[in-house]
Structure 1
Amino acid sequence: MGKVVLVTGVARQLGGRFVRRVQRDPDVDRVIAVDASPPEHHLGGASFVQADIRQPTIARVLAEHAVDTVVHMDVTATALGRDGRGSRGSVKETNVIGTMQLLGACQKSPTVQRLVVKSSTSVYGSAPKDPAVFTETTPPKSLPSGGFAKDAVEVEGYVRGFARRRPDVAVCVLRFANILGPAADSPLAEYFGLPVLPTVFGYDPRLQFVHEDDAVEVLRLAAHEPARGTLNSGTFNIAGDGQLLLSQCSRRLGRPTVPVLLPAVTWVGSALRTVGMTDFSPEQIRLLTHGRVVATRQMRETLGFRPKYTTAEAFADFVRSRGPGLLPPSALAGAVDRIAALPLAGGHPSAN
């Protein structure tokens, strides 16, 4: 008998992609795809079960299908927006209450042997005195006070409690950097889709990305029995090699930036949310102010995963999928370089 894998959050593009990918593995017998809303994309040969993980019915689903592997992908920053789950309160309920219900069901299940949880590097927060690079054991300087980042912190706390109560279950937590790609639907992807990018005056944060293809592949790897010399349990940072400055991102997109003084950034974010342009949340403002970079040594050496895409390559693929910006990237880069060379900008007149 092969594995029976249950996947939550399959109505989203990333969840659907993972379901289609994992069912092709030879040691997987069945895939049970779960979401409160029917997906608009196909799920291949997976069995779709319409169920809300916030409800106790998820325990019955685990029991009926004798699930041995659970991949929890329904921890997200934004709602789907078409099924009534659009408010921040309902998203938090799905993230936190849904995770509690799912873990309670897993704890009672005699068949569950492996649990994989999609988390986020946002658990480290973004603060002015952060270390240059976060490892998996680095405590945040300032715990997230709200939004998705706080949800992720709470979710990981409940997962650690589950791991203590069920030491026989292999638990793997994957902390993803911002996921980008042609189908990316995150708040940061929406931000990069703006015709003009508001930035925080005086700050140029460092950012990391992981390509959606790599995200699917590392989830698949974590859901399997570990290969020799690797360990598919524990907590791992997941990100592509390298980093990009926000200014580099804007030039590669061909989108100009509008620096805004820090006290006014919150007002700009509220205005953008009001007109429905993007979810410019306080946690995203902190990321776009202070940035965040994580170490991925454990991902490579312990988990045994090497991303196909670097941070720059993941961003380049995202840029190709979005089409040209207001300005050609080469022209925008040249204009920025010329401005930087002006004496008032600290450059050398001879550079002109």
Structure 2
Amino acid sequence: MKLIDRKKQHNKDSTRKTSIIFVCEIVVAAFFVLLNYVAFIMYPSKNEQVKIGSTYMTMNNSFYPVLNEQIANYVENHHGRLYNRDPALIVNKQVEELHSFIRQGVKAIIINPVDGNSMKIQNALRLAKKKGIKIIIVDSQMKSADYADCTILSDNYRAGQLCAEHLLAHKNAAKILLLEHYSAYSANNRIQGFTDTIKKSPKAGNFHIVGKINTYGQSEIALPLVEKAIKKGPKFNTIMALNDQAAVGALAAIDEVNLKRQIDVYSVDGSENMKKLLGVNHNAIATSAQTPVNIGKTAVKVAYKLINGQKVPKKIILPVYLITNKNINHYNVLGWQ
């Protein structure tokens, strides 16, 4: 009997210990659940999926898809969500996109404005700013920088300077046609850098701007307008284009009319299309290369820093360099840099 009683007592003690261990495990598990809940309430930004909106003046330019790809990859790797939209050069459409981003609850907006002077875009950015959304402007500027937390640009003025310096070094005179995009600050800065450098040169009297065309930086717009200019005058022997898209359209126009005389074409970007032409088209002279890869990587890192409450510079300017028909073999012609 005593042996049986001891076994019963031992079983009771084992059951009691097991129950105590089980209760302790429940208490510990409950504590960690409560701790995680408190952390979620106290620090929601570290637990919520980060949403970012991106909109560029057009996706009909390989520069912007490449730029956006860097942002998309970074956001995906950080388990966030990117909303990308294409306003197709339409101000009202971009304004609608900005309001959509606000409704989606994004933490940051990365924007290349269709029109840097647009009050509609500016007002939409002001509303986003009031909602606590961080604003990062890329590859251009707004007339007012009040609502931008950071503006990230290539050195657009220097890009124009590089083209002018090359022209001045290789020609003693030129009649120049400018291909512009009047509403884009980046384009204006490039053209300004070009024309300022020409004006300051001792040879300035031999270099004349004979015409200006607003191409919106699009090949399909530049082609017929440049073709018309070649046929109807005034006569020119040099083209300075705001970007490679317009330059490619101009080169196509020159080929279309089967022009025998030389027209030197300069531009800004360093795109795959222009780099390929530098090697084979005698009219393609040089392009000031920028890097959408670096702009995209910089923009998304800045966005996350701002979201996390870190300080960033108000403006970040990235360097440019000149690729010519003489040094093209030193560069990769497949894709952007």
TM-score, reference length from structure 1: 0.38
Q: Structure 2 length normalisation: TM-score?
A: 0.39
